[in-house]
Amino acid sequence: MKLSALISEDCSKAAVLFNSKKRILQYISELAQQKIPDSNQHDILEALLNREKLGSTGIGKGIAIPHGRLSGLDKVLAIILVNQQAIPFDAYDDRDVDVFIALIVPDGENKQHLETLASIADKLKNKVFCKRIRQATNDKELYQILVEFDN
């Protein structure tokens, strides 16, 4: 799966600056609501927070894949954020997190959801890719890096 097909340029945010897990999830829900006009920002945030209650989506090495399910959605929405500094996120390796790839998935789409998560996690194993996205200074550059590594 190509990340650039999953994440649009306007859902690629480089060099953002947030200082808490809750605030970054709020920002993700704000962006998601803009892309899903029939949705409610509060419902999106609740979906993300409910998933975090089950266990942190911090997968280690400074990376998190926050995700939540939303009814009424017909396709996956993905957002990539790179925070200027790593923040506490309760990751399993206890490292702070600066790279976030968030997913809002249709409720009931379990197979697609798991395949998307696996594909993203696989892409994030590439150290050069992770280094490059962390170095992106603006949104367009971040998106171009996604496109470059998909080819």
- Decide: residue 41, CB within 10 A, 0-12 exposed, 13-18 middle, 19+ buried: middle
Closest CA relative to residue 85, chosen from 70, 100, 104: 100
Tokens of 148: 């470059």
Beta strand pairing call for 58-60 and 67-70:
unpaired
| DSSP class per residue in 71-125 | TT--S-EEEEEEEEEEE----TT---EEEEEEEEEETT-HHHHHHHHHHHHHHTT
Closest CA to 138 of 84, 94, 96, 89: 84
Q: Which of 13, 21, 51, 67 is catalytic?
A: 67
Structure tokens of 112? Answer: 């697609």
Mark whether 42 is an active-site residue: no
Q: Which residues are catalytic?
A: 67
